[in-house]
Amino acid sequence: MAIMFCVQGIIVTDRFRELERPQTGRLKDVVLMATVTGFESLRFPRKSDMKQFAELFEPLFLGSSNEARRQAAAALSQCQQIPETVAALIGGMPIAIAAIFLTRSKAIADRTLITIIRERGPEHAAAIGRRPNLSPLVVDALVEHHNPPGLAARSSAVKAAAAEQASQEDEAASLRTAREEALRREIKALAGARPQNIPQAPSSATMTDVHAALLVRFARSGEIILFSRVLGQALGTRDAQVERILLDISGQLLATSLVALDVDVADAGFVLQALYPHLREPFGETSHAAALIGAMDRTSCRAQLDAWLEAAAEDAAPAARHEAYFAENTANDTRHVGPRKVAATSVNGQPQRLFGRRRG
């Protein structure tokens, strides 16, 4: 029994000795997967990260086992961005390693796929042909070099879809250009027709759809000068009144103006939160801006806005001409009492001096 235990002890000891021996291939597999995992964790890899990963990946990948290569290729097929040299290296591997990468990866450039199609065999072309979205250039390369079954019909369908998409994009671009041009003309018209210190009647304060859209746009982009001009155009008031409204950091005056002008609740809330960030803070189940607007009544807000505009119109009325008290044309100043000649009383025929020192 003792000999048996001793023999078993020797066997166990030898197994532990085998585990202690260096395994270069296995170590490279571990380092390769650690490198791939670290790169996967980068949501937005920088150019320096891409360069460093490409330099580390090639020697580790070429020195690892086929199983580790397949795992690395499968992991990198889910990345949105990988270096082009890495994609070319994996795509050029035997099909057992490169198949999943060529079929699923969205980070392979079309020129890399075309190079693999030209240099590799039909198995690689078949894997590329199973990709869900193929560009017309890749389809043409597949048809030219390998012509898999059914790919010619798919090539025609892809070309037709690409042509339709291009026409839709052109139409959308033309519509967007037309809208921007119309908006530019509206802005120029608003800037040209804007009153210069000439107040209008309070009832002229109206908010059109163009005004509302411009207010939202300028609030989003932070262009406060253009925002104040559009608001002044909608209110029909002077810059001073608009400035007084915008300088109220509580947002109460601007909220009153927007509610009075019947601006959409969502647009008004967005404008308030864009100009006054503290109104974005939550207030119960809503925001401070929404609570502020919800507590206002349009009728009372309109009456308050009309009162503001009426007061601003009165302040802008031309004032009466001011005449200085000691002006040269004192006869025109009703406040001035003209000089009166007072006869001095005389004593013994001599005029009496009322004050001052007599000069010799």
Residue pLDDT, tens place only, 12-29:
445 444 444 445 557 888
| The pLDDT of residue 353 | 53
Q: What is the largest CA-CA distance in the chain?
A: 168
Residue pLDDT, tens place only, 26-72:
788 899 999 999 998 888 889 999 999 999 999 999 999 999 999 99
What percent of the chain stands above pLDDT 90? 18
**CA nearest to 200, candidates 243, 245, 233:** 233
Q: Is the pTM of this model over 0.85?
A: no
Bridge-based pairing of strands 346-347 and 286-287 is unpaired
Type and span of the H or E element at 282? strand 282-283
pLDDT at position 197 over 50 = no
Whether 273 and 311 have beta carbons less than 8 Å apart is answered as no
CA 234 – CA 209 distance, rounded (Å)? 11
How many other C-beta atoms can be found within 10 angstroms of the C-beta atom of residue 9? 10
Radius of gyration of the CA atoms of the chain, in A: 43
Which of 120-124, 197-201, 288-292, 348-352 is the least confident region? 197-201
**CA nearest to 333, candidates 324, 345, 320, 342:** 324
Whether 221 and 270 have beta carbons less than 8 Å apart is answered as no
**Residue 79, helix vs strand vs coil:** coil
CA 35 – CA 43 distance, rounded (Å)? 15
CA 208 – CA 177 distance, rounded (Å)? 22
Judge residue 82's burial from the number of C-beta atoms within 10 Å of its C-beta, 0-12 exposed, 13-18 middle, 19 or more buried: buried
Q: Which of the four pLDDT bands, split at 50, 70 and 90, describes residue 196?
A: very low
CA 269 – CA 260 distance, rounded (Å)? 14
| The pLDDT of residue 27 | 86
Task: Find tokens 């059914």 and name the residue.
Answer: 150
